[in-house]
């Protein structure tokens, strides 16, 4: 944490705008997706760690320099979705390629994980616009990123038969099922909260 704080102070002193850090982060994330697409999973995991370091820096720099803005929050949230989809797309492209690692199932699981993760974020944003904060659920963005890093870093020897190597297919199962489950959790929670809100509003009329 001390290293992060030192980096934040250094970036703030250099006058680098938080939105620039956000853009750098998404560019690195998209580079991670490219590495996934070429099958360089281990290096994609390393790059993903660096990219998410920038995700932590931009908000902290904004708060330290008093440059927190609504547009900055909007930009950060929007580009986070792009970053997520970049990683998933890279993984799907790799497994869709006609190589010995081709797997229609893994492409499907990656697609489900990508769609569900975007919908989880959308339900949160939409519910907040209606007056309900819905940051609930089993698998949120930090957990998704950690799982992708674990799957990526375990894949550094494609020929290994160790149970600790090449765990991305298992990670895709967890991401697909966990993201769908989280989506259902949030929809149920939002429905309950909105119905309670409607009841209170009707009672006050």
CATH of the domain at 90: 1.20.120.1760
Q: Is there a contact between 83 and 26 (Cβ–Cβ < 8 Å)? A: yes
Q: What pLDDT, on a 0 to 100 scale, did the predictor assign at position 36?
A: 96
Q: What pLDDT, on a 0 to 100 scale, did the predictor assign at position 205?
A: 64
Residue 88: how many other CB atoms lie within 10 Å = 25
Which residues of the chain, if any, have pLDDT below 50? none
Q: What pLDDT, on a 0 to 100 scale, did the predictor assign at position 128?
A: 85
Q: What pLDDT, on a 0 to 100 scale, did the predictor assign at position 1?
A: 62
3-state secondary structure of 113: helix
Q: What pLDDT, on a 0 to 100 scale, did the predictor assign at position 133?
A: 85
Domain count, the chain: 1
């Amino acid at each position: 944490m001390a290293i992060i704080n030192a980096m934040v102070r250094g970036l703030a002193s250099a006058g680098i705008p938080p939105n620039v850090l956000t853009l750098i982060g998404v560019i690195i994330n998209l580079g991670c997706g490219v590495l996934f697409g070429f099958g360089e999973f281990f290096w994609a995991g390393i790059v993903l760690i660096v990219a998410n370091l920038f995700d932590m820096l931009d908000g902290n720099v904004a708060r330290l320099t008093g440059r927190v803005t609504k547009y900055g929050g909007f930009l950060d949230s929007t580009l986070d979705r792009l970053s997520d989809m970049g990683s998933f797309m890279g993984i799907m492209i790799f497994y869709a390629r006609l190589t010995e690692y081709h797997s229609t199932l893994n492409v499907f699981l990656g697609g489900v994980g990508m769609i569900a993760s975007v919908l989880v974020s959308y339900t949160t944003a939409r519910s907040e616009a209606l007056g309900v904060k819905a940051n609930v659920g089993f698998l949120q963005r930090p957990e998704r990123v950690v799982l992708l890093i674990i799957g990526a870093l375990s894949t550094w020897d494609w020929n290994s038969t160790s149970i600790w190597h090449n765990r991305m297919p298992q990670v895709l199962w967890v991401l697909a099922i966990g993201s769908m489950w989280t989506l259902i959790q949030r929809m149920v929670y939002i429905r309950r909260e909105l119905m309670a809100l409607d009841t209170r509003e009707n009672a006050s009329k």
